[in-house]
Structure 1
Amino acid sequence: MAYNIRAIIFDMDGVLIDAKEWHYEALNKALALFGFTISRYDHLVTYDGLPTSRKLDMLSVERGLPRSLHKFINDMKQRYTMEYVYMRCKPKFIHQYALARLKADGYKLALASNSVRSSVDMMMEKADLHQYLDFELSNQDVKKAKPDPEIYKVAIKKLGLEPSECLICEDNQNGIKAAIASGAHLFKVGTVNDVTYQNLKRRIEEIEKGELI
């Protein structure tokens, strides 16, 4: 079966912004105030791609983190994240070029992130990608974060398209589960450097020819 791809929906962290390390460092810095930490292995295998609130819930269940500390830790994590974003987030030519070319080709472009709205706005501004996107969704725009597919279903509806007309770019297991469950096609990202115009067009051609669906 052949398909006609009309829109591309991007995850943010690990796809358009190389921010995984910033989130990891920021959360551990906040947790360390109370003697807690998440190992790099656990972060990559279990926590990657989940919103901070979900990570804190898991730490409370698994390791006894007092729930009364959640709001303070979350607030501090966001503050530390913003500091890292302000210092480290910069425009990346391959992404600016990719989105500009895709936009010129007539594709609709959107972003759907498990990050909070303030992080999304700051990162898109610092990366100079706002101008190419039709809209951006954060975890505050939905009730259920990834791996639930709600954010992608909302994005697809907002685009006015069918899932089969959309390609989702995701890098971690929670996001990939959400993308697949939405019914859209998937472009699996290894690193932010994989997100190039050539790679995206190649994936679109595979889908439209009925290959590797």
Structure 2
Amino acid sequence: MVRAVLFDMDGVLVDTEWFYNRRRCAYLEEHGFVFDEIPDLSGSNETAIWEFFVPDDPVRREELRLGYRDYQKAHPVPYGELLNQDTKPVMEELHGRGVLQAIASSSYRSLINELVEIADVANVLDYTVSGHECSAFKPDPEIYLRAMGQLGVEPGECLVIEDSPLGIEAGKRSGARVLALKPHEGVHLDQSGADMVIDSLWDILDELG
């Protein structure tokens, strides 16, 4: 029986992956980068992303990474526009059925809190955790194991809802059953490692058992 559902955030609760890819490239273009096409780094973490763009110059890499923090503040995520409209009603339905819920995201704590506020789901969430509060990012399963520990559930009692290959691997390594939400149009992700690919968050309800 499923006692808890653990949600990734980006690409699951809010369709941000395509926005992140484009915003990042717009910033880098201002610093001399040229792109024939926008690299799709959906589901990756901050360290891996900047190593991808600047593999051989750690000083330059850090300068760009820190500069991007200010660029992000000047170009915030329009969460209200990108919010998955199924997020609140599905979470409310799960809460009504007594299912525990958590958000386990590689995003910063401030962004998780912002999404929770905009989606208006604080009253149905039992726990949230950021990858920046863990010792390792996905695909390490720590973030999901930590959420399970806080909720008092076993991996076999959990569904993990993910979209990216790294997140799917983290969920599987935690011992949970993993459902992959089909990505936003224009985002290409290998979801073959998931137990099932779902078209909508509503499909979670069919897997409660």
**Percent identity of equivalent pairs:** 28
Going from structure 1 to structure 2, the CA distance change for 1:203 and 1:84 (only over 3 Å counts) comes to: same
> Following the alignment from structure 1 to structure 2, what is the Cα–Cα distance between the partners of residues 29 and 150?
33
> Following the alignment from structure 1 to structure 2, what is the Cα–Cα distance between the partners of residues 113 and 72?
21
Deviates more, 1:50-59 or 1:105-114: 50-59
> Following the alignment from structure 2 to structure 1, what is the Cα–Cα distance between the partners of residues 137 and 47?
10
1:76 equivalent among 70, 73, 84: 70
Cα contact 2:50–2:65 (8 A) shared by 1:
no
Gaps of 5+ in 1: 206-213
Q: 1:209 corresponds to which residue?
A: none
Question: CA offsets per residue over residues 191-211 of structure 1, 9 Å max, x none?
Answer: 4793433x1121223xxxxxx
> Following the alignment from structure 1 to structure 2, what is the Cα–Cα distance between the partners of residues 13 and 60?
24
Cα contact 1:8–1:168 (8 A) shared by 2:
yes
Q: 2:81 corresponds to which residue?
A: 88
Cα contact 1:147–1:178 (8 A) shared by 2:
yes
Q: How many residues align?
A: 196
Cα contact 1:165–1:184 (8 A) shared by 2:
yes
Q: 1:97 corresponds to which residue?
A: 89
Cα contact 1:5–1:204 (8 A) shared by 2:
yes
Looking at secondary structure, tell me which structure has more helix per residue. Answer: 1
Check if 1:8 corresponds to 2:5.
Answer: yes
Check if 1:55 corresponds to 2:60.
Answer: no
Question: CA offsets per residue over residues 76-124 of structure 1, 9 Å max, x none?
Answer: 353255x2325634572x2211111110100000000111112111122
> Following the alignment from structure 1 to structure 2, what is the Cα–Cα distance between the partners of residues 120 and 39?
32
Amino acid across the alignment from 1:53: T
Check if 1:196 corresponds to 2:196.
Answer: no
Q: 2:148 corresponds to which residue?
A: 156
1:114 equivalent among 92, 106, 109: 106
> Following the alignment from structure 1 to structure 2, what is the Cα–Cα distance between the partners of residues 39 and 48?
18
Instruction: Show the 5 A alignment for 1:128-143.
Output: 128-143=120-135
> Following the alignment from structure 2 to structure 1, what is the Cα–Cα distance between the partners of residues 4 and 139?
21
> Following the alignment from structure 1 to structure 2, what is the Cα–Cα distance between the partners of residues 40 and 28?
10
C-alpha RMSD over aligned residues: 2.5
> Following the alignment from structure 1 to structure 2, what is the Cα–Cα distance between the partners of residues 48 and 146?
13
2:168 equivalent among 168, 173, 176: 176
Ranked by relative contact order (alpha carbons within 8 Å, sequence separation 6 or more), the top structure is 1
TM-score by length of 2: 0.82
